Amino acid sequence: MTSNEVLSMYENVAGLTNQMVQAARASDWESLGRLENQTAAVASNVTAGVIVPPQAGAERQRKIELLKQILANDRAIRDVTEPWLNQVPGVRQ
């Protein structure tokens, strides 16, 4: 996997998680689930034995920014979904 491919993957995940935030805020659970599956498919490249080269300089900084965005999106999604899940009988956090 090249550095450009790595950044492209993270940009894709960041975009998908941003869409997930919007779906969660709109209580569009069907879209949220679909986007979650798409995100998992893209992210599976990292866990499927694909070698991700180390990055430096501007590429490394961009990757860090994307990871921060992805984590912020994850927090925003959980802020919406966790209270809802706590109301569903039989679901425990």
pLDDT digits (tens, 9 = 90+) for 21-41: 999 999 999 999 999 999 999
Domains, the chain, with CATH or none: 3-87 (1.20.58.380)
User: What is the model's pLDDT at position 3?
Assistant: 81
User: Is 90 exceeded by the pLDDT of residue 51?
Assistant: no
- List pLDDT tens digits, range 78-93: 999 988 777 767 665 5
What's the CA gap between 13 and 93, in Å, rounded?
A: 25
Question: Is 60 exceeded by the pLDDT of residue 63?
Answer: yes
Name the amino acid, one letter, at 41.
A
The tokens of 90 are what?
Answer: 């039989």
Query: Quick one: DSSP state of residue 58?
Result: H
pLDDT of residue 2: 81
Q: Are 69 and 36 in contact (CB under 8 A)?
A: no
Tell me the average pLDDT across 10-19: 96
What's the Cα-to-Cα distance from 49 to each of 1, 12, 23, 46, rounded to whole Å? Answer: 11, 19, 31, 7
> What is the H or E stretch that residue 37 is in?
helix 29-47
What is the 8-class DSSP label of residue 54?
P
Over its C-alpha atoms, the chain yields an Rg (Å, rounded) of 15
